[in-house]
Chains A and B, each alone.
Chain A
């Protein structure tokens, strides 16, 4: 059964031209990647975009997967990069809510922000801290694996997570990031 194959076997099959393997890998991982992207980007549109980018990048670079880590870890890393890229691009754009009318856009069911205050607090973190906190406290990745994925020392991971959480809690308490978000206008 194709569905019983391991991720790594599926990736090899994909590289051999097995389109089913592609479908299985997508369906296996898209929810987790989307959840990560939603937390990272703060809205579904961006999350969908980042998820798409992540999968495209992963499949296009499938031949570079060395098997040093699990496929899911490798994919997670790619997804984080996709989110970071997307956020960086957006940072260079005018924040969408700051239209000249000063009015907030009407929400549609499709893009209700996850939680505006939480998202802004996350955005107020440094990218390193945000990434570590999201991976650990949302993604459930153990410290050691985060160290592997991000290529930093274990102690650094611990410290980033601890500091990131504290900063997050402080910002949520003081609503600081609401102001900070206007910096780019």
Chain B
């Protein structure tokens, strides 16, 4: 039989490939395949797909899945971030244990003073070490927009002069201080691990432009370990946890969460560090809306050296 149509053959190829056709069916497909390069091509794709195996869920993955879904479906007492992240955090913790890497929690704060934005990327060791930001709402592809940073810096008003990341901006007793928190406040509210934090190129407790699509917000650079005490209520704490969990789950790196931030009602951002040999990379990613559903693009990634 050589009158099998191309369409009919295509329909049978799945069964053919998995051995589900009877002798006659197999022969018919064989005959058609001998004369039809398109169907042969299709068969190759099917075989490739069927040959790719997925390792089954591990016990830890099952546990995680069950806990995460249960927590979302049956709201109950809040559990710790570590508990929630458990299986995913394990490799990351291994990496961090070796180096006691820095942590930067960035807490966005409202700002009513408009465009005066201390530049975060002028402080540390050059372009690759500063945690740079962009406040555009555009997509991630617009990372080139960082080129706009110098322009922004030029109108940052009272926010200091270069050297110390955002610190000067934060401590300057300018009009801005009336409308945004000071670095001193940040320091008093958080414990910051300086040795690690220095890698970010930021000043401890400094105000930096929030990694927000929204203009006019500021962030405090602090340690995420202190977020628990900072988070004013369970709702916000849950958002931060959700953000960390989601971001960890979408990265192929053994990430260490290094920053978390919140501003009630609208924003969250989380940063991560991972290690490749002796090099530490960072990325600040995942700006989420309050419902933790929408993640905006990664804002910055680079190397901590």
Q: Interface of A with B (CB < 8 Å)?
A: 19, 22-23, 26, 30-31, 34-35, 38-39, 43-49, 51-52, 55-56, 59-60, 86, 89-90, 92-94, 96-97, 99-101, 103, 105-108, 110-111, 113-115, 118, 133-134, 136-138, 140, 143, 158, 161-162, 164-166, 168-170, 172, 184-185
Closest residue of chain A to B285, judged by CB? A93
For the complex of A and B, the 4 pairs showing the least CB-CB separation, nearest first, are A49-B249, A165-B45, A165-B42, A169-B45
B73 touches A166 (CB 8 A): no
The closest CB in chain A to the CB of B6 belongs to A162
Given the known inter-chain contacts A96-B252, A99-B281, please indicate yes or no for A114 contacting B276, CB distance below 8 A.
Answer: no
B179 interfacial by beta-carbon distance below 8 Å: no
The answer on a CB contact under 8 Å between A94 and B276 is: no
Q: Which A residues lie within 8 Å of B7 (CB)?
A: 158, 162
Give the contacts of B29-43 with A (CB-CB under 8 A).
38, 41-42
Known A22-B74, A49-B246, A100-B303; 8 more pairs at CB < 8 Å: A46-B249, A49-B250, A52-B249, A56-B73, A108-B91, A137-B46, A137-B49, A162-B10
Residues from chain B with a CB closer than 8 A to the CB of A39 are 49, 52, 54
Contact of B14 among A99, A103, A136, A170 (CB under 8 A): A136
- Closest chain A residue to B275, Cβ basis: A106
Give 5 A-B contacts (CB < 8 Å), ordered by A residue. Answer: A103-B279, A107-B252, A133-B45, A138-B50, A169-B44
Question: In the complex the two chains form, is B252's CB within 8 Å of A101's CB?
Answer: no
Most chain A CB within a 10 A radius of its CB, from B7, B57, B303: B57
- Chain A proximity of B36: nearest CB distance (Å): 11
User: CB distance A137 to B253 under 8 Å?
Assistant: no
Whether B72 lies near A94 (C-beta < 8 A) is no
Residues 261-305 of B contacting A (Cβ, < 8 Å): 274-277, 279, 281, 283, 285, 294-298, 301-303
Q: How far is the CA of A39 from the CA of B285 in the complex (A)?
A: 25
Is residue B11 contacting chain A, with contact meaning CB distance below 8 A? yes
Q: Is B170 an interface residue (CB 8 A)?
A: no
Residues A30 and B62 in contact, CB atoms below 8 Å apart: yes
Q: Is the CB of A23 within 8 A of B66?
A: yes
